[in-house]
Structure 1
Amino acid sequence: MLLDNHGRKINYLRLAVTDRCNLRCFYCMPEDGLNWLSRKELMTYEEMLRSCSLLIKMGVEKIRITGGEPFVRKDIMQLLTSISELDGLQELSLTTNGVLTAPYVAELKRIGVRSVNLSLDTLDANRFLAITRRDEFANVMECLERLLDNDMEVKINTVVMADKNTQDIIPLVELTKELPVSVRFIEEMPFNGDGHSYSGIQWDHIRILDEIKNRYPAIQKIPDPLYSTAYNYHIPGHKGSIGIIAAYSRTFCGTCNRIRITPQGILKNCLYDNGVLNIKDLIRSGAGNTQIEDKLRAVFNKREKNGWDAEHNRVINPDVHESMATIGG
């Protein structure tokens, strides 16, 4: 078992395989995109596989592949297949925007992926275009259909943004009436990649729930799974469920079991920290597994208590404007 200095179990890795994305969601990056990492700055698949193998031996049980958008990286199924075969891994899952994913769904199921998080901020094609700056709504909906046809566990991730998509909250909730999906509403976070100031949110988890209650007063709180980042709910008679993630309010830090590795190999103990260890550089310097493991344990023993402390203690570089694409979604 892998524990941090606060006694929290660490058993979940979110691995970002690329910073590149085929959408340009305004809350994640500028319209012209980011200064993409060069190939040599990215971890190779071999380096990712070695990192995953080592962390599994240390106690990681679940790995989620994220980006950017994972399917824009060449031969991604090769990496996913190799990770799925690692001894000791109990769960491999994926977060995707769905634009390129539909043709791979059957293969994902074959290698053991059972759960997919699908990013979808609106059910209106015009608003989708306005938010993502790309006309890909039909492809995303095809992906959703394909996932359900293959009996995959689907979580729809929706970032709630004032004056952009709050009118989609109820239509998305209504998806759960006939579909066995979990629709999860996420507070907007301050990682837009363009350096604009961020003074907080208008739609926090409390306001989102109130909006749903106004339409569905019979909504019921249901038990949250262990380590859940979402407050989970169910509407009587609906096949699916609803989750609300307080990503900016950071109410779930006390049970946080996750770590992140960015596309350039930076380990993050928290979404809001600067990064605590460059695993890629360690590997490329010739470090052995024991040396890497010792350094990993050292940084796990200096984990911040919560996201507010991590944000307070981070060193701000005015020339770097972080995006969820570079951190890992």
Structure 2
Amino acid sequence: MLFDNHNRPITYLRLAVTDRCNLRCFYCMPESGIKYLPKHQVLTYEEMERIVAVLARMGVSKVRLTGGEPFVRAGLMPFMERLAATPGLSELHMTTNGVLTAPHVAEMARLGMKSVNLSLDSLDRARFHEITRRDELPAVLGTLAKLLDHNIRVKINAVVMDGKNIDDLYPLAELARTQPIDVRFIEEMPFNGEGNHYPKLTWTHQRILQELRTFYPDLQALPAEPHATAAVYQAPGHVGTLGVIAAYTRTFCGSCNRIRLTAQGTLKTCLYDNGVLDVRALLRSGATDADLTATFLKAFAHRPKNGFEAEANRPEVSESMATIGG
């Protein structure tokens, strides 16, 4: 087992395979997009495989592939197949926007993909277009159907945005009525390439839950899974569940077991930190696996207690979530 300086286990790596994305979501980046990394600054698949192998030997057992959008990078499926064979790695997951995913779902199921987080902020085509600045809702819904057909667990991630998709909360929640879908509503964060969109966050996790209770007065809280970010609920008679993630309020830091590796190889031990280690530089300077292990252990021994402490030790939070890694 691998622990940080606050005695929290570290078992989960969020691995960004690219910072590029085929959408321009309001809560993630400006309409003009962001300046993407040159190819030589992005970790190669071989470098990622080596990092995962080292971390798996240290105790990391779960990897989630993120971006940007993972499927905009060529060669992703062969990489996933090699990654799934990593000794010590027992769970492979993905976060995707679903636009390019459908043709790969059968292969993902064959590889044993444990779950897919599908970004979906509206079921209304016009609002989806407004939020993502692309008209791709039919493709995303096609991916959702294929994932369900192949019995891959689906978690829908919907960022709640004032003035953008409040009318979508009920239609999205209704997806869980007859299908085994976990619909999670997420507080908006300032990782959009611009900084906070609002002087004050109005749609907090408390308000989101209050809104859900107007639809489902008998909403029941379910026991929390270890290290879960979402508070999970179920409406009577629903097959799936509803979740609320306090991503901005940060109520779940005390049980956080996650670390992140950006596409350029920066280790983040907290979503809100500014990056604590340039792993790419280590790899390309000839570091051995023993060197990597020792350096990782040093970084984990200085992990911030929570997201507020991490944020206090850096300049203003304003980078895109695509740069951070989902």
* TM superposition score category, shorter chain reference: over 0.9
CA contact (8 A) 2:250 2:307 kept: yes
Paired with 2:121 and 2:54, the residues of 1 have a C-alpha distance of 35
The yes-or-no answer on 1:325 pairing with 2:322 is yes
**Aligned residue identity for 2:2:** L
1:149 maps to 149
The yes-or-no answer on 1:182 pairing with 2:182 is yes
CA contact (8 A) 1:156 1:182 kept: yes
2:10 maps to 10
| 3-state SS, counterpart of residue 184 of structure 1 | strand
Extract unaligned runs of 5+ from structure 2. Answer: none
CA drift of 1:30 comes to: 1.1
Paired with 1:54 and 1:291, the residues of 2 have a C-alpha distance of 10
CA drift of 1:292 comes to: 1.1
1:137 maps to 137
CA contact (8 A) 2:15 2:66 kept: yes
1:122 maps to 122
| 3-state SS, counterpart of residue 63 of structure 2 | strand
CA drift of 1:276 comes to: 0.4
2:231 maps to 231
2:88 maps to 88
CA RMSD of aligned residues (A): 1.1
CA contact (8 A) 2:189 2:196 kept: no
1:54 maps to 54
2:44 maps to 44
Measured against aligned partners, the alpha-carbon deviations of 1:204-244 in whole angstroms (never above 9, x if no partner) come to 10000000101110100001111000000001101100110
- In the comparison of the two structures, how many residue pairs are matched? 326
Measured against aligned partners, the alpha-carbon deviations of 1:94-130 in whole angstroms (never above 9, x if no partner) come to 0000000000000001111021010000010000000
2:76 maps to 76
CA contact (8 A) 2:14 2:325 kept: yes
CA contact (8 A) 1:190 1:198 kept: no
The yes-or-no answer on 1:209 pairing with 2:206 is no
Paired with 2:43 and 2:53, the residues of 1 have a C-alpha distance of 15
CA contact (8 A) 1:25 1:133 kept: yes
Paired with 2:139 and 2:256, the residues of 1 have a C-alpha distance of 33
Paired with 1:299 and 1:200, the residues of 2 have a C-alpha distance of 33
CA drift of 1:194 comes to: 2.8
Task: Detail structure 1 runs of 4+ shifted over 6 Å in the superposition.
Answer: none
The yes-or-no answer on 1:304 pairing with 2:304 is yes
Change (3 A) 1:25 1:18: same
1:294 maps to 294
**Aligned residue identity for 1:63:** V
Paired with 1:201 and 1:195, the residues of 2 have a C-alpha distance of 12
CA drift of 1:199 comes to: 3.6
**Aligned residue identity for 1:206:** Q
Measured against aligned partners, the alpha-carbon deviations of 1:124-176 in whole angstroms (never above 9, x if no partner) come to 00000000000100000000000001111000000000000011111111111
1:266 maps to 266
Paired with 2:321 and 2:8, the residues of 1 have a C-alpha distance of 25
CA contact (8 A) 1:265 1:280 kept: yes
Q: Which moved more, 1:187-196 or 1:79-88?
A: 187-196
Paired with 1:321 and 1:245, the residues of 2 have a C-alpha distance of 20
Measured against aligned partners, the alpha-carbon deviations of 1:42-91 in whole angstroms (never above 9, x if no partner) come to 00000000000000000001000000000000111111111100011110
**Aligned residue identity for 2:280:** K
Query: What TM-score does the superposition give when structure 1 sets the normalisation length?
Result: 0.97
Paired with 2:195 and 2:296, the residues of 1 have a C-alpha distance of 31
Paired with 1:195 and 1:243, the residues of 2 have a C-alpha distance of 25
Paired with 1:111 and 1:176, the residues of 2 have a C-alpha distance of 26
1:165 maps to 165
CA drift of 1:198 comes to: 5.3
Extract unaligned runs of 5+ from structure 1. Answer: none
**Aligned residue identity for 1:167:** D
Paired with 1:197 and 1:31, the residues of 2 have a C-alpha distance of 14
CA drift of 1:321 comes to: 4.0
Change (3 A) 1:189 1:196: closer
Query: What TM-score does the superposition give when structure 2 sets the normalisation length?
Result: 0.98
1:30 maps to 30
